[in-house]
Structures are given as C-alpha cells and as structure tokens.
Amino acid sequence: MLQGLQDLGSAYLSFMTPMTLLYGLGGAFVGLVMGILPGLSATLAIALLTTMTMSLDGNVAILVLICSYVGALYGGSRTAILLNIPGTAANAASCADGYALAQQGQAGRAIGIATSGAVTSTLLGVVFLATLTPLLANVALKFGAFEFFWLALFGVTLSGSIVGGDPLKGWMMGLVGLLLAQVGEESLYAYQRFTFGSEALAGGIGLIPALVGAFGLAEVLMALSDPIERKIHDLTDSVLPRWRDLIQYRWTVLRSGLIGVFTGLLPGVGEDAGAWVSYAAAKAVSKEREKFGKGSIDGLMAAETGDMSSVPGHLVPVLSLGVPGSAPSAVLMAAMIIHGVQPGPMLIVEHPQFIYHVVAMTTLASFAILLFGLFGVRPMLQVLKVPRNILMPIVFLLCAVGAFAVASRLFDIYVMVAIGIGAYFLRRRGYEMAPLVLGLVLGPLLDKSLRRGLVLSDGSLVPFFTRPISLVLATITIFMFLLYVPQFRRAVAGVGKTIARGARSALGRSGI
C-alpha cells in the first residue's frame, strides 16, 4: 500500500514540468476543438494526435492522447447545449436539458454545470482507476497462450456491441480487421501471407495509416458530403461553475459518477451508456422529475457526470486486460502499442509504473478541462464559425502527413486513402470503423496465441477448454456471443424473472 502511494506520488512529480504540462494542455485543447465541432470525435482526435506525437517520449505522447480523449468528451457538451447537436455520441443525453436551458437564456450556467460535473466525476473515476487496475492486473498475470487467445477472441466478440445497434455489422468489421492483421510476415516464422508478391505488403498494414484513414479521411468525406447550417445561441450569462449547483446536486454527482465508472468497466459499453443510465437513474429519484427534458439542472448534471466518469472506467480493462470498452479506448489502446506499451496482463510486469502514470495523466486532463472551462469557453466557440470547406482540407493534410511520417513510405498514404474511402462508403451504410481497428489491434495477439498454444499442446485444442482460467474465459466469450441471439436472450431474461419472483416469494414468506 505504502509502495503504491510512493509510486503514485512519483508519477505525479514526473509530469510536473513546464513542457509536460504544456503538452497536456495542448492535447486537451485539440480534444476540445474536436469535441466542439459536430461530426468530429474523440476517436478522431486520438488517431490524428497519435501521428503527431511519434517523436515525443512515450509517456508524454500518451499524456497528450489521454488529455485529448477527456477534452473531446468535455467539448462535445458545448454543441449539445448551444446547438442541440451532440459534439460526440456521449453527449447526446445532454441535449434535451442543456439546449432547453440555453433557450431560457441560461447557456452559460449550463456550460458551468457541465464543467463542474465533468471535473468532479473524472477525479472520482481516477480513484477507481488507481485502485482497481493493479488488482485486476495481478489476477491477469496467471494468463498463458491459451488464456490470451480467449481474451483476444473475447475482445473481437465485443465488436458486435462496441458501437452501433447491429451486432452483425460490428462482427463483420471486426472480421475485416482480423483479416487485415494477417497481411504481411507472420510473427513466428516470418512467412509472408496475403502479400500477392508485393514487397510493400510484406511489411503488413500499418496501424497508423489504418487509423487515420478509417477515422480521419472518412470523417472528412462524411463532413463534406453533408454540410449543415447551424445557429449558435449567444452566451449572455457567466460560464463559471456555480458551487451552489454542485453542492445542491452532490448526490447526483456521486451516484452518476459511480454509474459511469461501472459502465466503463463493462467491455463493449461506450461512454454514452454511462450518460443515459445516469440520466435515467437521476430522473427516477429526482424531486423535480417534471423538469427533465425542459431544462433540468439535475438531468444535465447526471448526463455530463455519467459520461465523463466512464473514461477512467474504460481505462481499467484496457490497461489490465487489453480489452477496450469503447471506440476511443480501442484507438487509445492501439496508440499505446504504437508508442511501445503493450496493454494487458503483462503490463504490470514490463511497465509497472505505467499504471500510475496513466492515473496522473487522467488527473492532469481533468484539471486541463477545468482551466479551459473557466477561461477558454468564449474564444474556443469561434471554431464553430470556421467554414467546413476550409477546415476539412486541413484535417486531410494532417492525415496524409501523419500516415507518411511514421515510416516515410508513400505506400502508407495509399493505404490511408484506400481505407478512408472504403470506410466512408461503409459508414454511409451503417458500418462503424471502431470494430475494424479492434480486429486490427487484437489480430496479431489472437493469431500468435492460438499457434503458440497449439505448439505447446502438440496440436490439441483440449487445453483451450480445460485449463481453469481458459474455461472461464471461454464460457464468458460464448455466453456473450449467444446473448446476441434473440431466442437465447429471451430465455435468459425469462430465467432471471423466475429467479426474481422466487426470491420475492421467499422473502414474503419469511416476513422480510
């Protein structure tokens, strides 16, 4: 316990330099801009900044990415309040009450509520990040090749629910990502697969070109193909957070913060789930239920607290198991790998200090959004006035430079353009790109673990199902997959209702 506190203190001190703090503020600023602009996202912010931080020290680079992640979710509340358009999917729950408050001339107060809820809930989530991640990582140290296979397969199974409402489309994109991960020389014997005699393909599909293509170029094409004129509400009142609101709704902050952390821990559940569940819980117990949807402070506080506290919650399974729970956390995990840190069970052995560094990074991110929330709201809203036909070509240029800069290969730009154009047409038909990236990231681990396991077992599949941890992971993976089958889901729901009725009957007979 004492050693952990010392490590945590050292992590905080290591980031207390002027340049490091400046990088963190810069990452939060870029994230805020991405969040403020409707159509852009935290996922795009992380993907673009990954290419721009390749020359930085690994810890500083990941600090920039985490700050941009937190900043984008926070920035998305601006357009939800002022335009009734969520800047990111996680801010959708904030639209009803936030926009209603803006229409009532309280746009500044609504932004202050979003700021106070975001900062306090992120700090609450940091506590759980610091305590739960080492515990879960120590359990995961017992994993071998057989367990890693099931863990990777479980992550790919989550592609059915990580974004969107159609599991089949998610699995199809996850499978495409797995196939792309097999291109190039395989890891055990350097045998070339799916290269078709091309020397350029022998190096495989680069993760950064795939990221910036799937999220950067595709976002540019989506934005340019669907321009929308928007009217921004003026800020006539103060945007400074009011302590009175925070104290009055302190139980909403605590309840929604815990809900957000819990939903973040669940693989495959995004930040928007934390916001909606928190909003529903607040409405169920609120004394001002009739105001929800018409300008409720309680509702807006719950929504913004729930989505922001889920960010530290998502980082727990990413760091300890290597399983992301949302699209931004999937791209963040890919960025960590690019910067030389492999999230998962071996992290606590190979980089034991890194967990505490992430805790410090997330704390600094929360203070960065507080600073911008206090002093940078009005100037940053000017970004909304930049015409998209000017902004999007700049984003495309950054995508091209980022794809080329990693290995200085023109082929990587071709990959970025090909994946970006393909992603654009797929997204127009309801296919999301986060499952593709998840498959691309987990593909090498799944392939390597399967073949190593077969080598160790002399070609037998039995150990994949008989080792205790493997059996548990296999059961969870198969159960998660079957939950997408309507008949099985209805049967599980029926069993749950039967058990609940039996429990209530037993309690009634006992007089409890």
The alpha-carbon radius of gyration of the chain (Å, integer) is: 23
Range 308-320 average pLDDT: 86
- Are 141 and 99 found together in one domain? yes
- Are 209 and 339 found together in one domain? yes
- Are 471 and 351 found together in one domain? no
- Which of 285-289, 375-379, 408-412 holds the top average pLDDT? 408-412
Where do the H-state alpha helices sit in 342-433? 347-350, 354-375, 377-380, 388-405, 410-428
How many structural domains comprise the chain? 2
- Are 51 and 68 found together in one domain? yes
pLDDT, greater one: 142 or 59: 59
Distances (CA, A) of 157 to 171, 173, 266, 319, 431: 7, 11, 13, 19, 16
Range 181-199 average pLDDT: 81
What residue type is 464 in one-letter code? F
- Are 315 and 400 found together in one domain? yes
Ranges 33-42, 127-136, 195-204: which has the least confidence:
33-42
- Are 304 and 449 found together in one domain? yes
- Are 509 and 416 found together in one domain? no
- Are 389 and 499 found together in one domain? no
- Are 447 and 494 found together in one domain? no
Q: Which domain does 474 fall in, by range?
A: 467-512
Classify residue 296 as exposed, middle or buried by CB count within 10 Å of its CB (0-12, 13-18, 19+).
buried
Give the pLDDT confidence of 370-379 residue by residue, as tens digits: 888 777 766 7
- Are 460 and 472 found together in one domain? no
Q: Of 72, 60, 88, 62, whose CA–CA distance to 28 is shortest?
A: 72
Q: How far is it, in rounded angstroms, from Cα 297 to Cα 285?
A: 14
Residue 136 token pair = 């879960």
At 193 the three-state DSSP class reads strand
- Are 246 and 179 found together in one domain? yes
- Are 456 and 480 found together in one domain? no
Q: How far is it, in rounded angstroms, from Cα 101 to Cα 118?
A: 18
Query: Mean pLDDT in the chain?
Result: 80
pLDDT score for 421 = 93
Range 399-421 average pLDDT: 83
Ranges 23-32, 182-191, 474-483: which has the least confidence:
182-191
